[in-house]
Amino acid sequence: MENHELPFTVKDVAAAQKRIHPYVRQTPLLASGQTCAENQPVYLKCENLQVTGAFKARGAFNFVLSLLDQGGAPGVITASSGNHGQAVAYAAARMGLPCTVVVPEDVIAVKAQAIRSYGAKVEYAGHTSTDRIERAEQLATQQGWVFVPPYDHPWTAAGQGTAGLEILQQRPDVSVVLVPIGGGGLISGVATAIKETRPEVRVIGVEPELANDTYLSLQAGRVVDIGANHTLADGLRTSHPGDYTFPIVQRYVDEVVLVSEQDIENAARELLFRSKLLVEPSGAVTVAALRQLDVQRAGTGSVVCLLSGGNADPNWLATLLGNPVVGQGALQ
C-alpha cells in the first residue's frame, strides 16, 4: 500500500496536535526507574493523566473540532465501552453540542456515571462493539446527528496519534513504543506519527489473549471478528479491528503480542504500588508485555509503554488494594 492510499498521514496528526492543543494535556513521560532487555530504560507515557482520564480526549476533540470547521451538526452520538464516551461527552459539552453515548449493557458503572456527569445521555445496547456501534449509527440517522466513531475514522485516529508525536518530542532516543490495541485507533495514529517521522523506531501492539482480534486478523490477512469477549481490560473488548485502522496496522506495526489476564492484573498492581500510578487494566497491558521484549526487539534506546487510561472500576480496584502483594513483575 502506498502512503497516499492511507486514510491520513503524519501531516494530519501534526494538524490535529495544533487543533486540539488548547483542550488536552501534553501528558508526562515518566521514567519508571526500571530497565528491560539490555538494560534499556523504561518510560511511561501517562495518558491516564489525560483530560477525562484517557487518551480518547485527543481523538474526540479532533473529531468534534474538525466537524465544527466543516459547518457543525445539531448534535453528536457515539458508541463506547466508557472512555471514548466520556471524551466525546466532554468535548461536546465544551463546544455546546448535545450528545448521546451508546454503551454495552455490562459497562462499568463509574464510566457511565462519568459520561452523564458531562451532560450526555446514556443508552445501553448489547455486549459487543458491533452491537453498540450499530445502535449508535441507527440513532444518529434517526435524529440527524453526527456519529463519532470510537476508532474507525481518520479524524479520530489522527487525534490519537498526537500521543506518538509527543513521545518522539519527549524522548528522542526512543527505540520501541508499546501501545494497547482495541479497535486500532490509538495504535494506527501513534504508528503513523512514529513511522512516518522515525521509521527505525519499533511499534509493538499489545492485546489481551482473550481479545486478540487484531492478532488474528494480521495472521489471516483480513479483518476477523471474534464476537463478545470478557477480558479484564474492558477498554480493549472490541470484536474486530476497524476498516480504516487495520490497513495502517498492517503497514506500520512491527508486531502484536498477547498478554494473559494475570499478567495484566500484575502489571496494574505494580504500576499502582511501585510507580504510584492508577492505571486501568487496558492501559497496563503494555507493562505486562515488557517480559516479552527481548534484546532483538528492544533495540538500543529507550522503551516507552503507553498507559492509555486510568478510569479503573472501583470494584476491581478494591480487590487490587486488598491484595497488594507484588511478585516478580515486568517493572523489576
Please classify residue 319 by burial: count the beta carbons closer than 10 Å to its beta carbon, then call 0-12 exposed, 13-18 middle and 19+ buried. exposed
Looking up cell 498526537, which residue turns up?
Answer: 162
Phi, psi angle pair for 306, to nearest 5°:
-85, 115
250, 5 contact by CB (below 8 A): no
308 carries an active-site annotation: yes
Separation in Å, CA 62 to CA 38, 56, 169, 282: 38, 10, 20, 22
56, 81, 129, 275: the active-site residue: 56
Of the candidates 46, 51, 123, 140, the one whose C-alpha atom is nearest the C-alpha of residue 91 is 51
Q: How far apart are CA 157 and CA 249, in angstroms?
A: 12
Catalytically annotated residue among 66, 129, 188, 308: 308
DSSP strands (E only) in 23-173? 29-36, 40-46, 76-79, 99-103, 121-124, 146-148
- Residues annotated as part of the active site: 56, 308
